[in-house]
């Protein structure tokens, strides 16, 4: 029998962000034990790794210590076995949503808006396409 490898996503899931009112930390208080139990259950069910998103650092540390499979953190602190961030967040593509755990390494969204604005202006004023952008 062939099994399907699974990454179990624990904590905040992209599908529930709007239902929960935005990026809210998961696994606080009584919910911490549920998250630990869920991690054990999905590991025992055959998951090959656990993705911990928006989870308190100490809880993520506890899950990582108790798990026999790797943990990947996104807003879960430095004790996970690996880290991930969404590329669009890393390069500053969007300004609408800025979760606390995201570190922006560039602000490409501003540069892209400027480039598109310049393109539109040049098309409107007739300077693009110029002779060097056409075939003879």
Identify whether the C-beta of residue 99 lies closer than 8 Å to the C-beta of residue 117.
Answer: no
Q: How many Å separate Cα 94 from the centre of its chain?
A: 13
- Phi then psi for residue 66, to 5 deg, are -90, -15
Please name the helix (run of DSSP H) or strand (run of DSSP E) that holds residue 9, with its range, or none.
strand 6-11
Does 53 qualify as catalytic in the annotation? yes
DSSP code string of 95-134 = SS---TT---S--HHHHHHHHHHHHHHHHHHT-SS-GGGS
Which one of the listed residues 53, 58, 111, 132 is annotated catalytic? 53
Identify whether the C-beta of residue 57 lies closer than 8 Å to the C-beta of residue 78.
Answer: yes
Cite the active site residues.
53
């Amino acid at each position: 029998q062939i099994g399907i490898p699974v990454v179990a996503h624990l904590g905040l899931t992209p599908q529930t962000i709007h239902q929960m009112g935005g990026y809210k930390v998961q696994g606080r208080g009584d919910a911490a034990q549920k998250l630990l139990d869920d991690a054990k259950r999905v590991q025992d069910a055959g998951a090959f790794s656990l993705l911990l998103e928006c989870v308190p650092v100490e809880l993520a540390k506890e899950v990582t210590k108790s798990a026999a499979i790797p943990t990947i953190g996104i807003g879960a602190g430095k004790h996970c076995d690996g880290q991930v961030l969404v590329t669009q967040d890393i390069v500053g593509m969007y300004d609408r949503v800025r979760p606390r755990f995201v570190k922006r390494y560039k602000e490409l969204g501003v540069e892209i808006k400027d480039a598109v604005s310049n393109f539109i202006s040049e098309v409107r004023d007739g300077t693009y396409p110029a002779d060097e952008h056409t075939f003879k």
